[in-house]
Amino acid sequence: MKLRSAFLAATTLIAVGSSAAFAKPGDPGREKVVAAIKADHDASIDRLRKWIALPTIANMNINHREGAEYMKQLVLDAGFQQAKIIDTAGVPGVFATLDAGAKDTLAIYFMYDVKHYDPAEWSSPPLEGKIVDRPGEGKALVGRGAVNQKGPETAFLTALRAFKTSGVKLPVNLVFVAEGEEEIASPNFSQVVTQPEVKAALEKAVGIIIPSASQSVDGQVTLLLGAKGAVELQLISSGEKWGRGPTKDVHSSLKANVDSPVWHLIKALNTLVSEDGQTPAIDGWYDNVKPLTARQKELIAADVAAGNEADDMKTLGIKHWYKDEDYLTASYRLAEQPTINIQGLVSGYMGPGGKTVLPGRAEAKIDLRLVPDMTKDEVISKLKAHLAKRGFGDIEVNVSGGYGPNQTDENSPLIKAEQATLADAKIPATLSARSAGSWPGVVFTGPPLHLPAGQFGAGRGGGAHAPDEWLLIESTNPKVVGFDGQAVLYADFLYEVARTAKKKN
Q: What is the CATH number of the domain that holds 483?
A: 3.40.630.10
Assess whether 392 and 465 both reside in one domain: no
CA pair distance 475, 477, nearest whole angstrom: 5
Cα 367 to Cα 370: distance, rounded to the nearest angstrom: 10
Question: Under 8 Å CB-to-CB from 87, ≥6 apart: which residues?
Answer: none
Which strands make up the sheet holding 130-134, listed edge to edge? 130-134, 138-142, 470-475, 461-462
In a domain, 277, yes or no: yes
Would you say residue 316 lies in a domain? no
In angstroms, rounded to a whole number, what is the distance separating the alpha carbons of residues 172 and 495? 8
The sign one gets for the Cα dihedral 347, 351, 352, 355 is negative
On whether both 250 and 339 belong to a single domain, the answer is: yes
397 and 415 in a single domain? The answer is no
pLDDT for residue 306: 65
pLDDT of residue 12: 33
Is 311 within a domain?
A: no
- Amino acid at site 334: L
> What CATH number is given to the structural domain containing 397?
3.30.70.360
Which helix or strand (DSSP H or E) is residue 18 part of?
none
46 and 92 belong to one structural domain: yes
Give the model's pLDDT for residue 419.
95
| The pLDDT of residue 15 | 34
Angle at 39 between CA 37 and CA 45, to 5 degrees: 75
What was the pLDDT predicted at 224?
Answer: 85
For CA atoms 474, 478, 479, 485, give the dihedral sign: positive
Contact 449, 109 (CB under 8 A): no
When divided into structural domains, the chain yields a total of 2
Same-domain check for residues 113 and 39: yes
Do 468 and 430 lie in one domain? The reply is: yes
User: How many whole angstroms separate alpha carbon 142 and alpha carbon 124?
Assistant: 8
Is residue 256 assigned to a domain?
Answer: yes
Which of 403, 438, 473 delimits the end of a domain?
Answer: 403
Nearest to 303 by CA among 430, 479, 407: 430
Query: Which pLDDT belongs to residue 464?
Result: 92
> What's the CA gap between 256 and 236, in Å, rounded?
23
Per-residue pLDDT of the chain (505 residues; tens, 9 = 90+): 443 333 433 333 333 333 334 456 568 899 999 999 999 999 999 999 999 999 999 999 999 999 999 999 999 999 999 999 999 999 999 999 999 999 999 999 999 999 999 999 999 999 999 999 999 999 999 999 999 999 999 999 999 999 999 999 999 999 999 999 999 999 999 999 999 999 999 999 999 999 999 898 889 888 889 999 999 999 999 999 999 999 999 999 999 999 999 999 999 999 999 999 999 999 999 999 999 999 998 887 877 776 678 877 886 789 999 999 999 999 999 999 999 999 999 999 999 999 999 999 999 999 999 999 999 999 999 999 999 999 999 999 999 999 999 999 999 999 999 999 999 999 988 888 888 889 999 999 999 999 999 999 999 999 999 999 999 999 999 999 999 999 999 999 999 999 997 776 6
If we measure between CA atoms, which residue out of 363, 373, 361, 368 comes closest to residue 383? 368
Last residue of a domain, one of 360, 384, 403: 403
Does residue 347 belong to any structural domain of this protein?
yes
The helix (H) or strand (E) run that includes residue 407 is: strand 406-407
DSSP SS3 for 178: strand
Quick one: 394 and 438 in the same domain? Answer: no
Report the pLDDT value the prediction gives residue 503, as an integer from 0 to 100.
Answer: 74
Do residues 250 and 120 share a domain? no
Confidence at residue 14, expressed as pLDDT on a 0 to 100 scale? 34
- 248 occurs within a structural domain: yes
Total-model pTM:
0.90
Q: Are residues 256 and 358 in the same domain?
A: yes
Domain span at residue 142 reads 13-225+406-504
In a domain, 319, yes or no: no
Is there a single domain that holds both residue 343 and residue 378?
Answer: yes
Same domain, 124 and 95: yes
**Contact yes or no for 172/494 (Cβ under 8 A):** yes
Structural domain includes residue 318? no
CA angle 452-456-457, nearest 5°? 165
Domain identity same for 150 and 57: yes
Residue 474: the pLDDT is: 98
The whole-number pLDDT of residue 24 equals 67
Last residue of a domain, one of 403, 435, 460: 403
In whole angstroms, what is the distance from residue 145 CA to residue 71 CA?
14
